Amino acid sequence: MIVNTFPSTPQLNTEPILATEQTFNWKNCWYPVCFVRDLPPNRPYGFSIYDEPFVLFRNQHQQLVCLRDRCPHRAAKLSAGQIIDGKIECLYHGWQFGSDGQCAHIPQLAADAKIPANACVKSFPVTECQGMIWLWPGEAEIADEECIPTIPNLYQPGFVHSDKITELPCNIGYVIEHMLDPAHIHITHRGNQGNRKKAQPLEMEIIESSIEGFRGRFRDTKLPNQTWRNLDFVAPTLAHLHFPIPERGWFFGQAFYFFPLGQDRCRILTRSYRNFVTWQVKLTPRWQIHLNQNKILLEDLPQWLGQQQEVERLGENLREIYTPLPTCDTFAIAYRQWLDQFGVALPFYRGYTTSKGTSSAKMELSLKHTELCSSCHRAYQVTKQLKPTFVGIAIALAALAIITDGSWLQIAAVSASVSAVIAAFIAQKLQTEFELY
């Protein structure tokens, strides 16, 4: 265990940290694929981890199945196929595979012919836990569900939570670094989550660090005796902010689960939970919460993309580029140093002084959310239907107002027509917002 406390004059250790004999095995751990409620029913769900393709579906018993997303016949994607009687069928030639990845049917074989022994697909452990679907891409015999990084308070009495999945066009390291940086909130999100006047030096400590990640805490310094807030990194998938508000008996937490789709693509599964002002979460539609949260991520995205493009353009290590402060960057630098020390096996990473497989590919300033989220996708489809409906109603009511000239019915028809036009405008505005993400 490594314990650091702040001296009277804060110092930030940016000396190179050598890799140890311990290497983090990125395959032998659980990855959060998506929220259970966002898994599309009755069709395959394709995704990747560090560009390795996987496909997820439910069998005839509604049990989760995860296979490598590659048909052994001619390497077509199984995720492009369909589910028939709990088996996944390749769209190319109709080969079918069961829960264990064994081929169960080949249309091109005679009824009495034996299916080739190598006509199979590798399967992987997959499970549901705390409303999320988790995949273990490594050695199946050592997959232990007790190792899933769960949230202790999530289902405690009095707590509510909201969940959101978003896909981002950048390297996962910059996203993790950012989510371990509480100092940016009052600048990047001023007028939204933050307030520029509250930007200040932070007291920041690394409490312990190991191959499994690190635990940290921080607090404001403008006023004395401020509450400590905890911020932990659980390798490789979680940054967890959590803290009590003792004077009110409140507790707040926000978990950022990271999912590395590929070199310059990742997902972030955000889970916010608390035991105060619970009515707000209970009464606000999930899609409305997501639209507000998307605006916050859109404020973050230019920072991530600009940072990544400039770092990769320079081609130097971060120690030569960054000018970190102990009152701002302690956790971000600790994460990069963790990569130096334990992350050599990761396919694409940039530590503080080391790196492997990084990219300078041009990235687009866009998020992907609506098609991944069951709530927003459903709301989007409704808005697409409502707009022409309200327009048609407005036209019909306007026509009614014309033929009822001078009567009380005309006034009512005009008022209703105007209301329908406003409703159509709102539906169009919502549709446009959903299409942005």
* Residue 2 pLDDT: 36
Residue 23 lies in a domain: no
Q: Is the same domain home to 113 and 214?
A: no
Question: What tens digit of pLDDT does each residue of 60-90 get?
Answer: 999 999 999 999 999 999 999 999 999 999 9
Q: Give the mean model confidence (pLDDT) for residues 329-357.
A: 93
351 and 333 part of one domain:
yes
DSSP state of 251: E
Summary mean pLDDT of the chain: 89
What is the arithmetic mean of pLDDT over 275-303? 92
Q: What is the Rg, in whole angstroms, of the alpha carbon atoms belonging to the chain?
A: 26
127 plus 168 within the same structural domain: no
* Structural domain includes residue 333: yes
Whether residue 266 sits in one domain with residue 119 = no
Q: Is residue 118 part of a domain?
A: yes
> Which value, to the nearest 10 degrees, does the dihedral of the CA atoms of residues 15, 16, 22, 28 take?
100
What pLDDT, on the 0 to 100 scale, is given for residue 362?
65
Torsion of CA 108, 113, 116, 122, to 10 degrees: 70
Looking at the fold, whether 167 and 134 belong to one and the same domain comes out as no
pLDDT > 50? residue 27: yes
Please report whether residue 9 resides in a domain: no
Shared domain check, 161 and 121:
no
Same domain? 314 vs 186: yes
Would you say residue 21 lies in a domain? Answer: no
> Which of 95, 119, 141 is a domain's end point?
141
Residue 367 lies in a domain: no
Q: In the listed set 115, 141, 167, which residue is the last one of a domain according to the structure?
A: 141
Range of the domain at 222: 149-356
Q: Are 222 and 236 in contact (CB under 8 A)?
A: no
Between CA 352 and CA 350 the distance in angstroms is: 7
On whether both 225 and 272 belong to a single domain, the answer is: yes
Same domain, 46 and 186: no
Non-local CB neighbours of 38 within 8 Å, separated by 6+ positions: 165, 372, 373, 374
pLDDT band at 361 (very low <50, low <70, confident <90, very high): low
How many other CB atoms are there within 10 angstroms of residue 283's CB atom? 8
Q: What is the CATH number of the domain that holds 125?
A: 2.102.10.10
Q: Based on the structure, what is the number of domains in the chain? A: 3
Q: Is residue 364 part of a domain?
A: no
Q: Are residues 158 and 240 in the same domain?
A: yes
Q: Do 163 and 60 belong to one domain?
A: no
Q: Where is the domain boundary, 356, 390, 419?
A: 356
